[in-house]
Amino acid sequence: MKPAMIISTYPDKQSITKIAKVFVKNKTVACVNISKISSIYSWNKKIENTSEYIAIFKTTSKNKKLLQEKIKETHPYDVPEIAEIDISSINKSYLDWLIESTN
């Protein structure tokens, strides 16, 4: 089984923390890293400069499709970012933990 990482951004810590806890509890993901970031982007013909939270969802290839669907269903944004990070290498002990945590 291969590892998978999906990233997305959220408007506040509360929204991502709530979703992350559900995904870990139901074993869709093994872990979610959450960090505050500053984002500059174009939205509705205006340049926005806001604080957001980036989430890195860590799971396996067997769960990534479900994870992407669940992020889309639960995301507070109209147009959520759901991007997969291609992992070409990962240490075996971490991969073993990832698999165990999502089964």
Could you report the per-residue pLDDT of 23-42, keeping only the tens digit for each?
999 999 999 999 999 999 99
Q: What is the SS3 assignment for 63?
A: coil
Structure tokens that stand for 4 in this block: 């998978």
pLDDT tens track for 32-91: 999 999 999 999 999 999 999 999 999 999 999 999 999 999 999 999 999 999 898 999
Q: Name the pTM for this structure.
A: 0.93
CATH class of 3-101: alpha beta
Alpha-carbon gap, residue 50 to 34, rounded angstroms = 16
CB 32 within 8 Å of CB 24: yes
Q: Can you list the pairs that 79-86 forms with residues at least 24 positions away whose Cβ atoms lie under 8 Å?
A: 80/8, 80/9, 81/7, 81/8, 81/9, 82/6, 82/8, 83/6, 83/7, 83/8, 84/4, 84/5, 84/6, 85/5, 85/6, 85/7, 85/56
